[in-house]
Every structure is written in structure tokens, then in C-alpha cells.
Structure 1
Amino acid sequence: MGASRVDMKVVLLGKEYGGKTSLVERYLHDRFAGDTPYQNVRNYNATIGAAFGAKKVDIGDKVLTLGVWDTAGSERYEAMSRIYYRGAKAAIVCYDLTDRTSFERARFWVNELMKNEEGCKIYLCGTKKDLVISDKRTREVDYHMTTDYAEEIHAEVHETSSKTGENIFELFTKIAKDFASNPENIKKERDKDKETLDLYEDNKKKFGCCG
């Protein structure tokens, strides 16, 4: 899909193996990568640089096309991730509900966004909710702690499961609704993603598969 057809740029940020790619796969293609446990990271390919997908969303009488960027979580791709979130109107900052360190990494990306992208609305997203539902002892990130933090930074909290699909479509629909509530947003954003897409294609050639 060409950049000229993207109305809104959405970027996903967070720690490597924090569930970003699985979340995008569930949203864009309504699928989950098999029944293997999340913890067995050998069954998942880490994103290199970034991966891109687009999807149309019906919001009332409007049809928006969301351009969704899944960035690499590895710290060695940190500088590249900054390029991909440039100009994003929404950021889904992901953290693994079973990994406390992933929430600290989420705080890092929130600070980056607040310093560099003032116009970007932040959505905190706890992933792998199915794991904490099946065994509450696996939860390492407290819900009330995240909601207190979200209130402090004027963000929202969504806890999701890519395995079951819980709250994922609701999250992206809320993002689209928030964006569409200001008609000027669509006018300003159309055609702005070409530079990012060109960079993505260049990196695909350099590194191979990016998703």
C-alpha cells in the first residue's frame, strides 16, 4: 500500500520480545504465531529495523487507513527506531506483563516521545494478558502502577493478549477514533509517510526480512 493512502501513522515501541510483533500480526491479519509459549523466544524472529503494515478502519462516516510501524526492540536499533517514530500521531508503547524490566524500557520510550514528538498521543499496552490470567503469579507489572503512571503522562492503559485477541482491536479502534475526532488531523497527515516508507524499503534490502 502506498504512502499516499496512509491517513495516520501509528508506531509500536518497546523491549525486544515484548509482544509488539504478535500484537501487529493479530491486528492486521487476525492470527497468532502458533501455539508455542511466548517465553520460547527461539520460535519468534526479532524485528530488524521496522516492519510496516496498513489497515482500513471505519469510524462513523469516515474510513481511515492506519499505517502501523512495528519497530525493533533491540537497543542496537534504537537510533533507527527514532527515525520510524518521527511524525507519528499515536504510539503504542508495549510492555510484557510478565517482565518488570520491560515496563522500565517502556518508560524510556515514553520519555523519548515526550521530548521529541509532542504531537504524538501515547497508549500504554501491557501484552500477554492470557499468561497472567492463567497464572496470576506470573504478573510482574501491577495494573494500578501503570494506571497511575498513565495519569501522570496523560496516556491510556490497555492490557491485551495477542493469543486470544483480547482488547487489541478495541485499542486500535480507540486510536483511530481519537485521531478522527479532529478533522484537521486527516488533512495534515495524508501523504506524509513517503520518507519513512522509502527508508523501510532500503533497510529491507540491507537486512533482509524485517518482520
Structure 2
Amino acid sequence: MNVASDIEATFKLLLIGDSGTGKSSLLLRFTDDAWLQPDEVAATIGVDFKVKTMEINEKKYKLTIWDTAGQERFRTLTSSYYRGAQGVIMVYDVTQRESFDHLTTWFNELDTYSSNPSWKEGEAFAKRMGTLFIEASAKTRAGVKEAFLEVVRKIIETPDLYQKPAGNRAPTNVVNLDAQNENAEGGGCC
């Protein structure tokens, strides 16, 4: 029996919040059922993570749980960890009012870095701009051919984009580099 094939899905979870609110302690308790005294816990530097398997409704799920540093100086590090996360636990310390008040800031950061634009948002943007909207993925090939096909169709529907001006003359603002100066005499550069 292959353990990896027993896993229904893998989820990336994040613990976010101010430094010293207990994110690492929650992670340690959940994954290892262990507790460290406050003087035994050091502030997380950068990011730490643990893996745990959970069974829900007779199906196994693998959790990769990321413990992000809450200190301001590590905020730029944490932005890359939001990508791809399916769940976030915002942590505050009930004995530190300020950590609760900062949850709005954490939520705004989460919203900034983790949310991918929805199909509806993309479609609405294209509509506002008066452009086509085709969602495509180079990774899965979905929509790639269609994207190029639709652009070419729109160009064909707009002859001014590709037809030469009347009389088959080049527009006056174009310099023809292939044209030979018939009056020019052969000569050097100096």
C-alpha cells in the first residue's frame, strides 16, 4: 500500500499574526502535541513549516503548515509564502490588545498577496477596457490556441489594422529603407 496514493489532497496552510502571539506554539501543539514554556520559544526567523496528515470523513489530507515570522522586518519574506495557500489562520494573543488590533493589517496583507483574480474579475476588466477576455494557461495548454485565434479574428475584422492605404502607396510617415536613390552617384563616405 502506497502512503502517497492514500492522500486525497495536499493543502498549504499559513499561520500569520504579530510576533509573540503563539503561532509557533500552536503549530507545535497541533503537529507534535508538544508544549514549550514561553522562555523556551524563540522568535521565528523568516519562516518555518511542518507537515501533518489529517483524516476527515475517512479521507486523508496532507497539510503543509507554514509558520511565518510576525516581525515587521520579515514582512517582505512572507509575501511569497501567501501564494498557493488554501487556508490561513490569523493568530493574536488574548493578553495583547495590540496584536488583535493588527489583524486588520494582516488581513489586508493577506488580501493583497494571496488573492488571485477571479474569472469574473478578468472578464469585467476586459469589458471596462473594451478588449477581449480569454483565460489561458501555458502549463495546461487550456485556452492558449483560442487566445491567439481570437486575436487574429479581431484583426481580420478590423481591416485598417493590416491593409495598405489606397493606391498601394506606403504611408507618408514611413521611410522605405529598400528604395535606391536614383540620383545618387557612387562614392565613398568622405
TM-score normalized with structure 1 length: 0.49
Q: Percent identity?
A: 37
Check whether the contact 1:19–1:95 (CA below 8 A) recurs between aligned residues: yes
- What secondary structure, in the 3-state scheme, does the structure 2 residue paired with 1:96 have? coil
Q: CA deviation at 1:83?
A: 1.2
Unaligned runs of 5+ in 2: 117-190
Structure ranking higher on relative contact order (CA contacts 8 Å, 6+ apart): 1
Counterpart position of 2:134: none
Select the structure of larger CA radius of gyration: 2
Match of 2:103 among 100, 103, 106: 106
Which position in structure 1 is the counterpart of 2:69? 72
For residue 43 of structure 1, report the CA deviation from its aligned partner: 3.5
Aligned to 1:60: 57
CA distance in 1 between partners of 2:103 and 2:83 (Å): 17
Q: Is 1:15 the counterpart of 2:18 in the alignment?
A: yes
Give the TM-score normalised by structure 2.
0.54
C-alpha displacement of 1:109: 1.0
Residue 27 of structure 1 is matched in structure 2 by 30
Indicate the RMSD between aligned Cα atoms, in angstroms.
Answer: 1.9
How many matched pairs?
110
Structure 1 gap segments, 5+ residues each: 120-211
Query: Following TM superposition, by how much is the alpha carbon of 1:51 offset from its aligned partner in structure 2, in angstroms?
Result: 0.5
More helix per residue: 1
Shift of residue 84 of structure 1? Answer: 1.4
SS in structure 2 at match of 1:95: coil
| Letter of the structure 1 residue corresponding to residue 27 of structure 2 | V
Residue 93 of structure 2 corresponds to which residue in structure 1? 96
Question: Counterparts of 1:64 and 1:44 in 2: how far apart (Å)?
Answer: 28
Aligned to 2:129: none
